[in-house]
């Protein structure tokens, strides 16, 4: 199954945040790889990856919010709201997966689309802002 792969067009101009985005898309890729695996191991692996994505996403959001808040980014609240909505959705998805009520392909589709939108739309808004800050030092 296709999954988005990080490339330079995804760069937000910050090495730490770019590194985390790469890692998140790599986790989506791993989830895509087990969508077609209908074995019990495939289901367990998928569930494990959702857990990893929840943990890693939380780490990424806190890093992003810390950096943006340090520089008084004007759209920080919108960014935080989006992060919170994702965390709620992901924990609900994890619960559904535990009950065996989730379609792996649908979950993967939503996940990869969410991360692409997060990086290319929401995060790209601070790319210019952060590059202006860096030029001041």
- Cβ of residue 117: shortest distance to Fe ion, in angstroms? 11
- Cβ of residue 24: shortest distance to Fe ion, in angstroms? 8
Residue 34 vs 57, nearer CB to Fe ion: 57
Residue 27 vs 123, nearer CB to Fe ion: 123
All residues at 6 or more sequence positions from 39 whose CB lies less than 8 Å from its CB, including other chains: none
**Position among 112, 123, 126, 130 found at the interface with Fe ion (CB under 5 A):** 123
Residue 64 vs 112, nearer CB to Fe ion: 64
Instruction: Please give the angle made by the CA atoms of 128, 132 and 133, to the nearest 5 degrees.
Output: 120
The closest of 75, 90, 84 to 129, measured between CA atoms, is 75
Q: Report d(CA 27, CA 8) in Å as an integer.
A: 18
Stretch that binds Fe ion, among 50-58, 78-86, 103-111, 115-123 (CB under 5 A): 115-123
**Cβ neighbours of 3 (radius 10 Å):** 20
Closest residue by beta carbon to Fe ion:
123
- Cβ of residue 103: shortest distance to Fe ion, in angstroms? 26
Q: Are 83 and 118 in contact (CB under 8 A)?
A: no
- Residues engaged in binding Fe ion (CB under 5 A): 64, 123
């Amino acid at each position: 199954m296709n999954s988005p792969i990080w490339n330079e067009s995804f760069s937000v101009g910050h090495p730490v945040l770019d590194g985390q985005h790469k890692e998140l898309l790599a986790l989506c890729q791993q989830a895509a790889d087990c969508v077609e695996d209908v074995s019990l191991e495939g289901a367990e692996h998928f569930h494990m990856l959702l857990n990893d994505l929840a943990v890693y996403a939380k780490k990424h959001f806190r890093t992003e919010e810390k950096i943006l808040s340090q520089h008084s980014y004007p759209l920080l609240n919108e960014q935080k709201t989006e992060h919170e909505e994702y965390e709620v959705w992901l924990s609900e998805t994890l619960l559904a997966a535990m009950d065996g009520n989730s379609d792996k392909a649908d979950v993967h589709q939503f996940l990869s689309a969410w991360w692409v939108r997060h990086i290319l739309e929401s995060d790209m808004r601070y790319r210019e802002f952060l590059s202006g800050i860096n030029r001041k030092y």
